[in-house]
Structure 1
Amino acid sequence: MRIFHLITHFDLGGAERVAANIAMSKTPDMEYHIVEIMRGKSLYTNKFITEMKQAGVVCHRSLMPDVNFHFVFQRIAAILFPLRMLYIMLRWHPDVIHVHTETPDMCIYAFSRIFPCLLRHTRIVRTIHNTRLWSGLPSIASLIEPYYIRHNANIGISDSVCQSYKQRFGADAPIIHNGVSVIKQQIYPRLVHSKLNILFAGRFEPQKGIPVLCDVICALANDPRYHFHIAGDGSMMPMVEERLGGLANTSILKPIFGLSSFMSSFDYLFMPSEFEGLSMLSMEASMNRLPVIANRCPGLSDTLPEDWPLMVDNNSLNAYLHLFRDILPTADHNALADKAATFAEQNFSIRKMQEEYEKVYKGMSK
């Protein structure tokens, strides 16, 4: 069976990681390919391609530049993609096409409109990675979502994702949780010794709770117990640099490639996200014994035990400051790491995810 995963680009991202983890399955008689819609260009791109090739996954590069400008280039990519997909269909004859995130969603929808007959014998699978789809693009949503609902293609990654989807589009979707694994750990070289090292890693976008992140760090500017490592990039970089750039308790970093192999170096991961799909970062942290300080939001709360003591409601600044000032300095870190790791191991194994998707590929409904 030949399975093609369509992702936005070969780059660092939760959906890309999910596609890669599925494609690295060693199930006999399963041939995996990964296609990027827009050409990845980060330092992580070559690492991603090397990892896939070493696992026997065929990578298909794109010539379309990866430019973020009001979703314009993504729409152009969707318009041009059918010709590229036509070659793939005629050359490879995929049994399954599995799409991840909105740009690939648009591309397969466009292809189905232009060449509908070519998909008659191909199973379409679509993973919903987020609780908020097509943000600011309701007209596109009204075109594309009926297509995936009609083809029974949707699979959600968490209860929160499926509930949000049903509320908005009126359709149920089965759940397959994302899978993560224990990674061999190494020492992160920029730790600040004699302090608790707190990691934030993610896109500098409103979804990730950047204003709250800045508020917390600024409020703790004179607390000598902590050092914050803020790794990422995005449209809110100017805010991050303006508010945190001059603080002695903060290091602002570019995205840390191979982050999962450094997680045990840090003391806590700070995630003040407003919403998530099912946070791969949180699951990887727990699996590798890094306790998470989290906002109780859809897609993030699903990744941690229900009684997790480092969860706050509504991104409350006072609740975060209470944790940092009164709880974390005397918390039993090993007990928290054990609790998180046990929960992750029981709920989010990679092999379980691979097997459940492969049942779907074979037409065995969830």
Structure 2
Amino acid sequence: MMQKILHVAEVSKGGVISVMDLLVKSQADSGDFQQVIRLCPEDAPRVEHSGVHHLHFRRTGRNLASHIRLIYAFTYAVWKEQPAIVHLHSTFAGLWCRLAAALIRPFRPTVIVYTPHAFSFLSHTRFAGIYTLAERLLSSLCDAVICVSRYEFDAAVKGGLAVEKLRMIYNGVQDQGEPSKAQDELTRVLFVGRFDRQKGFDILIDALQSLENKPRLRIHAVGAADREDSNITIPQTIKLLGWLDPRALAEEYIWADVVVVPSRWEGFAMVPLEAMSFSCAVIASNIPPLAEAVADGSGILFAPGDASALQAIFVSHSAEEFRQMGRSGAFRQRELFSFEAMTSATLKAYAEVSAKPKSKSSGTTPQA
């Protein structure tokens, strides 16, 4: 049996916490660890498992006070619990916790694994060069960096991150079988995610503007704006559901024929995979990480940011055509993006870096 493992996330909702919790529950079930510890914001949904030890910090937003509380909670957890492995999820957890770990590792040695879930430099903003340099320097403070798509792996290599530390492990989701879908002429459309620029919620709104009176279209949106200064005007034709617990979210996926993912950038989003597992067609921006997921008849790609192209897809396809794509997507998910493949590959990565934490590891070429 291995020793303790600590998972850390700075966010409480969305794909990052979904991936982390799949790993947490799997590792708690497996018996491979003496204890699985989960550190995340106090408003994050709780993982109901007797083998999971919960630690929290208070997060009031992406601000200095919240980051300081994260650093304190992380440092205390590592010092007290002495985990053999620390797995950091997403950019800010990776930033602050790698810096904190560098100070205490001489006294509390541990293996550090980092999954960015989309490097900040993939946003292609004017700060991309600074973000790339930061990730390159911070990579020296961890033992492995897990990239969740071939695109992200290639971007990391191009950005100068140490190749011997990189692993490519696709996100995976659990198979949902064959959910029963309505068989009428209505097209049921679902959006899941933050209402922000990265996730492209404004693109979906623009696409729907001239479709407000389309009688055979129903749109639900799960999520919320991430920032208080969000000025997006949401039409009344979109039913807003807020953030949902896993059971309620599953009901929305079962309800939907189509899931729209109009993101401007991603590492490898969970939403398309979840949609496929529930036999939903996926309409997504044609950016490399989404194009990796949406193929083989599982959905339709459109030019990034092109609301007119997205609108045309709704106009030119019937509900039954979307349902056929959903059936193809379910097969693709089971073949390539399974929960079992993700968890086993992650355990393999832990074993490799734990065996030789100070040396170059094998298996650094991209592997699905």
Name the TM-score, length of structure 1 as normaliser: 0.82
Partner of 1:24: 25
Q: Does the alignment pair 1:68 with 2:61?
A: yes
Q: Give the CA deviation at 1:177.
A: 0.9
Distance 2:308 2:337 in 1: 32
- In the TM superposition, what whole-angstrom CA distance separates every residue of 1:145-183 from its partner, at most 9, and x where no partner exists? 424246441110001211222333444322011110124
8 A Cα contact 2:173 2:337, kept in partner: yes
Q: Does the alignment pair 1:49 with 2:38?
A: no
8 A Cα contact 1:79 1:110, kept in partner: no
Query: What is the identity, as a one-letter code, of the residue corresponding to 1:210?
Result: F
- In the TM superposition, what whole-angstrom CA distance separates every residue of 1:231-271 from its partner, at most 9, and x where no partner exists? 2211388544x3413xxx32223123221343121111111
Distance 2:133 2:36 in 1: 29
Partner of 1:207: 198
Q: Give the CA deviation at 1:202.
A: 0.9
Greater shift in the superposed pair: 99-108 or 197-206: 99-108
Greater shift in the superposed pair: 98-107 or 287-296: 98-107
Summarize the alignment of residues 153-192 of structure 1 with structure 2, pairs less than 5 Å apart. Answer: 153-172=144-163, 173-183=166-176
Partner of 1:277: 267
Partner of 1:303: 293
8 A Cα contact 1:15 1:101, kept in partner: yes
Distance 1:111 1:272 in 2: 35
Relative distance call for 1:140 and 1:300 in structure 2 (3 A) is closer
Distance 2:172 2:298 in 1: 20
Q: CA RMSD in A?
A: 3.0
Q: Give the CA deviation at 1:5.
A: 0.9
8 A Cα contact 2:279 2:329, kept in partner: yes
| Structure 2 counterpart SS, 1:59 | strand
8 A Cα contact 2:111 2:143, kept in partner: no
Relative distance call for 1:82 and 1:181 in structure 2 (3 A) is closer
Distance 1:362 1:199 in 2: 39
8 A Cα contact 1:291 1:337, kept in partner: yes
Relative distance call for 1:299 and 1:332 in structure 2 (3 A) is same
Percent identity for Structure 1 against Structure 2: 21
Partner of 1:105: 94
Partner of 1:84: 76
Relative distance call for 1:170 and 1:28 in structure 2 (3 A) is closer
2:312 to 316, 322, 326: 322
Query: What is the identity, as a one-letter code, of the residue corresponding to 1:98?
Result: H
Query: What is the identity, as a one-letter code, of the residue corresponding to 1:270?
Result: V
| Structure 1 counterpart SS, 2:46 | helix
Distance 1:140 1:339 in 2: 38
Partner of 2:118: 130
| Structure 2 counterpart SS, 1:118 | coil
8 A Cα contact 1:273 1:294, kept in partner: yes
Distance 2:250 2:90 in 1: 22
Q: Does the alignment pair 1:338 with 2:341?
A: no
Distance 1:312 1:143 in 2: 32
User: Aligned pairs, how many?
Assistant: 342
Relative distance call for 1:107 and 1:35 in structure 2 (3 A) is farther
Distance 1:209 1:50 in 2: 29
Query: What is the identity, as a one-letter code, of the residue corresponding to 1:289?
Result: S
Summarize the alignment of residues 130-149 of structure 1 with structure 2, pairs less than 5 Å apart. Answer: 130-133=118-121, 136=127, 142=133, 145-149=136-140
8 A Cα contact 1:293 1:311, kept in partner: yes
Q: Give the CA deviation at 1:102.
A: 2.1
Query: What is the identity, as a one-letter code, of the residue corresponding to 2:244?
Result: I
Relative distance call for 1:119 and 1:107 in structure 2 (3 A) is farther
Greater shift in the superposed pair: 18-27 or 263-272: 18-27
Distance 2:65 2:191 in 1: 29
Which stretches in structure 1 are left out of the alignment for 5+ residues?
none
Query: What is the identity, as a one-letter code, of the residue corresponding to 2:65?
Result: F
1:33 to 29, 32, 36: 36
Q: Does the alignment pair 1:254 with 2:242?
A: yes
Q: Give the CA deviation at 1:24.
A: 1.8
Distance 1:307 1:183 in 2: 19
Q: Does the alignment pair 1:289 with 2:279?
A: yes
Q: Give the CA deviation at 1:32.
A: 4.3
Name the TM-score, length of structure 2 as normaliser: 0.82
